[in-house]
Amino acid sequence: MEDINKNRFIGTSKEKFFYHNTLLCLVQSLQGQNITVDLRNDSYVCGTVVSVDGFMNISFSHAVYCDTKGNEFSFENLFVQARNIRYVHIPENISILGNIKEAVKKDFKKKSFETSSVKKSRKAKKALKQHMQIVASLENTK
C-alpha cells in the first residue's frame, strides 16, 4: 500500500486533470535529467529538473539562464513558471513513448488497486478496451 502511495500524484483537481489529459506526465518523467527549456521571451534555461508540478511549473538545480543577448547567468536553484515556457526539449536518449507508457502504467496500477471493488459500467469497460487496443497498436508500430 505504501509503495503505491509513494508514486501517487498529489495536487488539486485541476492539476490532476492536466496530468491525465496532457503530456505533463512526460515532462514529470524527466526529473533528474538535464534538459533545455525555451522561454517565451526567446531566452532559455538549461539545468537538472528537480520537480514539475501539476501546472508544469519546473524547478531546476544547477541551472544556466541565457538571455536574448547571449549573457549567461548561473543559478543553484531556478523556478520557471509554466506560462513562460514555450518549448521543452526532450533529450535524444529519452524514449518519449516509453516514458508516457510507464507513467500510464503506474497510474493504471494505482487506479486498479484503488477501484478494484468498484463495478464498472459497460461504457467504461468498452472505453478501457479501446484504450488498451490503442496502446497495443502503438507497441506493435515500435
Residues 55-71: tens digit of each pLDDT: 899 999 999 999 999 99
Walk along the chain (142 residues) and give the pLDDT tens digit of each residue.
444 444 556 677 887 777 777 888 889 889 999 999 999 999 999 999 999 998 899 999 999 999 999 999 999 999 999 999 999 999 999 998 998 888 878 766 655 545 545 566 788 888 888 888 887 787 776 5
Residues 23-46: tens digit of each pLDDT: 888 898 899 999 999 999 999 999
Distances (CA, A) of 105 to 31, 39, 132: 18, 31, 11
* Whole-prediction pTM: 0.66
Instruction: Residue 30: name the closest of 83, 85, 102 by CA.
Output: 102
Maximum alpha-carbon separation in the chain: 59
- The domain ranges of the chain are 2-141
Which CATH code is given to the segment(s) 2-141? Answer: 2.30.30.100
Indicate the pairing of strand 44-52 with strand 85-89: unpaired
